[in-house]
Amino acid sequence: MVNKQFSNLFIMKRIILFFIFLFQSVGQLAHAQLVTYKAPEGSLLNTDFSVRVRQKGHEWQNVSVYLAKVTNVIDTKNIIENTSFAYFDFSGEAEVSVTYNKGSIKQARIRPVSDSIIAKVRSNTITFSLTGPRNLSIEVNGDIFHNLQLFANPIETFRPSPTDTSVIYYGPGIHQAGSVVVPSNKTVYIAGGAIVQGQFLINHAENVRIFGRGILSQLALWHDDAKVLNTASKNIVKESRNDELTINFSKNVEINGLIVMPHKYSVLIGQSNDVKISNLKSFSSEGNADGIDVFCSSNIKIDRVFMRNSDDCIAIYGHRWSFYGNTQNVTVKNSTLWADIAHPVLIGTHGDTQNPDTLSNMIFSNINILDQHENQLDYQGCLALNAGDSNLLDNIRFEDIRIDSVRKGQIFNIRVMFNHKYNTSAGRGIQNVYFRNISYSGPDRLSIIAGYDDQRAVKNITFENLSINNRIISDNMPGKPGFYKTGDMGNVFVGEHVEGLRFINSKDK
């Protein structure tokens, strides 16, 4: 009798466990989603690659592959190259198939390398799986210009109604929006499968959101015979430099999810507070076509952006033009930066000599830098802290930064400087900067740390776990002669007026 009761109890437990497993599996399948967006008819596409995606065990879906322009510098000449990008949204697990249509694949690479994506190559097709959002560069036969940028987005959690009067709504298709002034308490939505030719200005406004999965550009991204919706705004942008997204004297602004191809800056933030930019992707090929530039602003959060630019990817300054005041509380994280020209990160060039600015309290974390290529020695440095115009740079932290092989440039450049082309005075100084877990893999590249004079010095700079080609550079590293500067072991030039410089290995703490 006891054995029978035990047997029945055992069976009931097995049944309960089976249903728990079944419900969990069904819940996971129901939660997993995949959304692809068909390119508008007549839009400029690139046939170098064909992309398909599917959820495991489901049918393949085609993903449109668009054309973008990037800059290749050969000697001193800028050459415009055609690159590719594609995008989709998913949750759960997605299988991706990328076919290279230009020939055979001798070598394939998916970056960032730190994402550790395992790819299979068969004939001219690359396949791999994703379990979370990624912004990737897929490079065939070592070609970094005619590559595929693949943006695997998270599923949108909210889509506004096209009839909502508080929303400027751009649905799938091609729109000529012109110059749009976005007032307070307004939302702009650009749907996946939409291309909007135009620019947006947020000026003396608050509570503004611009988001979606579509493409925004000042360029015409379609053939002449394409069907275009003329949704041009009657507003005239007078207080703008003609950048793609301008945020002037505003607060509580969010930009999320768009792909941007600007004429000048992708985003300009001037004298504004509480700005959040996330999942923004940017390509540029012109001069002065920065990614995100911040002037005299505070509480700026930049998360999960992909910036491939022909000028600085992220630049942070004090005063310039009509913007005045300090810049503080800036966070940049979980992002990928690629400077075909100039800097991935630049802090400090512009300021107010008459009423000096302080640029402080900044954190850069979990960032992949895929390249820098800059001929001019004054503008090198993947991580550049260049204090000019009486600026003081204070309390800045870089953590978990992975730098791929730099074609031409420096790993970091920390200088109090006086660039007579852009400055009216030298900076006041750079102090209290912490670099932790910075790694570089590639040919030797010079880095520079230098103050200006005794009153305008570089002070209290710490490198913890600076890894150059898997070698930790530290003050007590093996093999360092006692008469060497630690910087000599890592190809770091340490100039005059540098105080409190430390290189440490966390294992030695």
d(CA 228, CA 226): 6
Distance CA 496, CA 416 (A): 11
- CB 122: neighbour CB atoms within 10 A? 9
Domains, the chain, ordered by start: 34-154 (2.60.350.10), 264-508 (2.160.20.10)
Whether 415 contacts 391, CB under 8 Å: no
Alpha-carbon span 378 to 251, nearest angstrom: 34
Contact (Cβ atoms closer than 8 angstroms) between residue 451 and residue 433: no
Contact status, residue 120 vs residue 128, Cβ threshold 8 Å: yes
Q: What is the pLDDT of residue 21?
A: 41
Q: What string of DSSP letters covers 227-271?
A: --EE---S----S--S-SEEEES-EEEEEES-EEE-SS-SEEEES
For the chain, residues with pLDDT lower than 50 are 2, 6, 10, 17-30
Q: Closest Cα partner for 273 from 292, 254, 245? A: 254
Tens digits of residue pLDDT in 450-466: 999 999 999 999 999 99
Short-list 111, 86, 83, CA closest to 97: 86
pLDDT at 225: 87
Q: Do the Cβ atoms of 36 and 53 come closer than 8 Å?
A: yes
**pLDDT at residue 422, as a whole number:** 95
Distance CA 330, CA 292 (A): 12
Q: Which helix (H) or strand (E) holds 111?
A: strand 108-111
Structure tokens belonging to residue 211: 């988001």
Instruction: State the pLDDT at residue 508.
Output: 84
What one-letter code names the amino acid at 364?
Answer: F
| Neighbour-count burial for 132-146, b at 16+ CB within 10 Å, e otherwise | ebbbbbbbbeeebeb
What pLDDT, on a 0 to 100 scale, did the predictor assign at position 237? 54
Q: Which residues of 452-461 are buried (b: 16+ CB within 10 A; e: fewer)?
A: beeebbbbbb
Supply the pLDDT for residue 5: 53
DSSP states along 193-219:
TEEEEEEEEEES-EEEEEEESSEEESS
Query: Contact at 8 Å (CB) between 329 and 366?
Result: no
* Percent with pLDDT over 70 in the chain: 92
Residue 58 and residue 319: Cα distance in Å, rounded? 54
Structure tokens, 29:
């399948």
Residue 111's pLDDT is 98
pTM: 0.93
Question: CA–CA distance from 117 to each of 3, 113, 184, 365, 369 (Å)?
Answer: 52, 8, 42, 21, 17
Q: Following CA atoms 406, 85, 225, 232 in sequence, which dihedral angle do they give, to the nearest 10 degrees?
A: -90
E strands, 42-100, are 49-55, 61-63, 66-74, 77-90, 94-100
